Structure 1
Amino acid sequence: MSSTLIVGIDISSELNAASFIDETGIRLVKKTFFFPNDLDGAQQLLDFTISLAQQYNISSIKFGMEATSHYAWHLHTFLASSPELAPFNPLFYVINPSIIKSFKGAYIHLPKTDSIDAAVIAECVRFGQVKPTPLPDLRYAALQKLTRMRYHIVPSLVREKNRALNLISFKFSTYPSECPFSDIFGKASLAIIENFTPDDIASMPLDDLIDFIVKNGNNRLSDPTQIAKTLKAAANRAYRLHHDLAEANDLALSMTLENIRFLESQLKKLDGEISRQLKAFSQTLTSIPGIGDVLAAGIIAEIGDIKRFNNEAAVAKYAGLIWNKYQSGNFNAQDTSLVKCGDQYLRYYLVEAANCVRVHTVRFKEYYNKKYREVPKHQHKRALVLTARRLIPLIFAMLSKGQIYQERGVASI
């Protein structure tokens, strides 16, 4: 008699498919069980699974499902929270799609259908090469929603700023290269761009231009007179646009700057909430010079409970900061690529953290510079990724043992 029931679930936005096998691979239900991806459908699956378990005198149940976007979240939490399943010691496996795809490749010429995918997921769980997925911690999940949202906003802001630079250059051709302000997107700089053409600046009395700069610079600019002179010189050398084209360019620029201001306001709101939620965690990552609340939160949200990982190498693998190995006979490849898998969000925040830490700490600055000099091409990108990998043991130690950063190591609190 079977003792373990394995349920493979292929999840989609509207309709899920489930396949039921025992630990020997025998299908206990010949037809695929389809159910809606909603609360009623989840209850149908639960009732059917319990009925089947009782029929075959099952002592344990394993549920396998693909980590397809957010679609597995609700079903996983519903089943894991069900008291009716507790007597069957349920285990849940939310599996990376790349693992399922690779596992499916072992079967020759399998078509792509929901029924077959559900059966493949069940077999993947049965073979035992995947680890159970714990019920998500809502604290980490909430923080993760915010840090991942920030991850998606930042590239949008970068794209809008690049577009704005092109439009600014078209309007005032010498401005991007000769901008006298420290930040071309600062308040005073944008006031100049939005209110004046090169002709306006060239013909404006110097004192009037100085007054405008002082007013929009909130009296914080060190030398408004020199800024005004630089602007006039740049305006005299700039190309002039035809009036009709200038109007269209100004409209496009105005809309782009509105997008930038909106995205910056969203980032400010997100950063404030991220900092607030981070206070609920006992963490010391912000003691590392260069790592603030946002970077610490991004790393913590993706790692979750550090006890999930046996060592720092497991964290590196989870982040995808490991390199392929190629060996055959006496040959060992030296030039190998970074594996294209892992948690892209964790990898992003680790690399961003490394980029900040290398500026503020001696040990990581020296390591970055060493790796930068080792190769003639892609120096910065390679050195930065290697520095991120170097940072992981430190992060693992600090999260595991509650330690604070010191330049030559970590110290217990």
Structure 2
Amino acid sequence: MRILEPLQLFILEESVMLNAVGIDVSKGRSTVAVLQPGGVIVHKPFDVPHKSRDLHDLAQYLGSLEGDTRVVMESTGRYHEPIRNALSKAGLFVCTVNPHLIKNYGNNTIRKVKTDSADAKKIARYTLDNWAELREYTNMDTTRTQLKTLNSQFSFFMKQKTAAKTNLIALLDTTYPGVNKLFDSPVRADGSEKWVDFAYSFWHVDCVRNAGIKAFTDRYKRFCKHHGYEFQEAKANAIYKDSKELIATLPKEAVYKELIQESIRQLNLLSENVEHIRKTMNELASTLPEYNTVMNMYGVGSTFGPQLMAEIGDISKFQHREALTAYAGVDPGKNDSGQEVHNSSHASKCGPSRLRCTLYQIMTTMLQNGVREDDAVSSFLFKKKAENKPYLVYMTAGANKFLRVYYGKVKECLHNQEQAEQ
């Protein structure tokens, strides 16, 4: 006697035909397969170019299928967005899933087959087996996609800024050693720093000590007024005095001046771009329902908060908090076999590296600011550190704890908002 699967029983009871559309996405084109329960092939896998007319024809075809149709594709960087947007605008149920879920699904064959057609059918089978748990793409996901894109660009420009600053300091060490440590003024809202502005005008140590104390003081005063810094005569005297002891390895020549000043212009441009993206991310994140809850968490500020929301996305896509920690890759792995049991294993690191980077930066902020009595995460972090755990162990454990608290608070926030709307 043949035993019917739960999904097949649902079809028999409700008399609704289910059409599972699996799409294997690649750059410029996608492979589409349409299956029904029982392995029925509605349409053999076929390729669809990412052109407006072709996507329109695909949407019309899928919309004409009799029964309930759901489309699933992997979230593959940017490549899936054209087809996802086209099908969603056509009114179809579209769901994007983590590629890791598809990779680990249905590998119940000895023969390994890796083709676009096989992958499309594999995604369609995944769609059938997880029909009830699929989550439809919504307009709110568009905001989260924009936020994640901004975070990607923020990370890129931050790397460029760090490289530009390192290069500038290396150049200045040959003309004005230690100039980057002369001031402790905070970074301004536009990303500018006092030592960088100072180095643009006084790019060589001879610009200070060869001028004489009075001439340098007058010039430094004009510099402070021009850039809006507070002038302190004692600071001018200290800078002039220290310059007498410095040794420049490169002479004061025009070619080096041009190199340094061009490096400063590039650094200032990158700093301006970084701060603009930071501000835009914060404004966009403030439109999300969990914004205030996340921003009130200890260790989270105007930078880390939007980054967290960008990389985690909609919390409702995680069925439980362990799913979130697994997504971030900060869950402890297990590798037991027989009588061999390991009490500690490496973190899986299976997930977006930018999310783990943000989590470790939040943990670093907590370590710098100390324990807060009403915060469970910082107390747990310092407890693990006091137990003389290795650095990566207590940092990863703290990140895991933070995500569990994050999950609970954001879930409660969204639940309360739903209750209020009802």
- Specify the TM-score bucket, using the shorter chain as the normaliser: 0.7 to 0.9
Question: 1:114-125 residue pairs with structure 2 within 5 A?
Answer: 114-125=116-127
RMSD: 3.4
- Aligned residue for 2:74? 66
Measure how far apart 1:19 and its partner are: 2.0
Aligned pair partner of 1:24 in 22, 38, 41: 38
Question: 1:211-226 residue pairs with structure 2 within 5 A?
Answer: 211-218=218-225, 220=229, 223-226=232-235
- 2:180 paired with 1:166: no
TM-score by length of 2: 0.77
- Aligned residue for 1:320? 329
- Aligned residue for 1:38? 51
Partner amino acid for 2:333?
Answer: N
- Aligned residue for 1:352? 361
Partner amino acid for 1:147?
Answer: N
Deviations 1:349-396 (A, max 9, x none): 33333333444442554433333354575x2x5433332222223323
Aligned pair partner of 2:399 in 388, 397, 401: 388
- Aligned residue for 2:347? 338
Question: 1:128-207 residue pairs with structure 2 within 5 A?
Answer: 128=130, 131-136=133-138, 137=140, 138-176=142-180, 179-182=181-184, 187-196=193-202, 197-207=204-214
SS of corresponding position for 1:237: coil
- 2:385 paired with 1:372: yes
Identity %: 18
Question: 1:71-150 residue pairs with structure 2 within 5 A?
Answer: 71-83=79-91, 85=92, 90=93, 92-103=94-105, 106-108=108-110, 110=112, 112-128=114-130, 131-136=133-138, 137=140, 138-150=142-154
Partner amino acid for 2:346?
Answer: S
- Aligned residue for 1:407? none
Aligned pair partner of 1:299 in 295, 308, 324: 308
Is contact 1:65-1:95 (8 Å) kept?
Answer: yes
Deviations 1:157-200 (A, max 9, x none): 22221222212213223445xx3211598654234423332233
- Aligned residue for 1:240? 249
Deviations 1:17-71 (A, max 9, x none): 11233222243334x31221133222222333345x34xxxx3333232211122
1:96/1:252 CA distance change after superposition, 3 Å: farther
The total of aligned residue pairs comes to: 385
1:98/1:5 CA distance change after superposition, 3 Å: same
CA distance in 2, matches of 1:367, 1:29: 54
1:253/1:104 CA distance change after superposition, 3 Å: farther
Unaligned runs of 5+ in 1: 404-413
1:274/1:134 CA distance change after superposition, 3 Å: same
1:17/1:221 CA distance change after superposition, 3 Å: same
Judge which range, 325-334 or 343-352, deviates more. 343-352
SS of corresponding position for 2:258: helix
Deviations 1:69-124 (A, max 9, x none): 122223223323434x5xxxx4x442323333344865445454333332333334
Partner amino acid for 2:55?
Answer: A
- Aligned residue for 1:258? 265
Unaligned runs of 5+ in 2: 1-7, 12-16, 415-422
1:130/1:216 CA distance change after superposition, 3 Å: farther
Measure how far apart 1:326 and its partner are: 1.0
TM-score by length of 1: 0.79
1:64/1:357 CA distance change after superposition, 3 Å: same
Judge which range, 368-377 or 340-349, deviates more. 368-377
Measure how far apart 1:327 and its partner are: 0.8
- 2:25 paired with 1:11: yes
CA distance in 2, matches of 1:47, 1:200: 72
Partner amino acid for 2:410?
Answer: L
CA distance in 2, matches of 1:382, 1:212: 52
SS of corresponding position for 2:295: helix
CA distance in 1, matches of 2:345, 2:243: 48
Is contact 2:175-2:251 (8 Å) kept?
Answer: no
1:46/1:188 CA distance change after superposition, 3 Å: closer
SS of corresponding position for 2:27: coil
SS of corresponding position for 2:174: helix
- Aligned residue for 1:400? 411
Judge which range, 334-343 or 224-233, deviates more. 224-233
CA distance in 1, matches of 2:132, 2:219: 65
1:335/1:170 CA distance change after superposition, 3 Å: farther
Partner amino acid for 2:19?
Answer: L
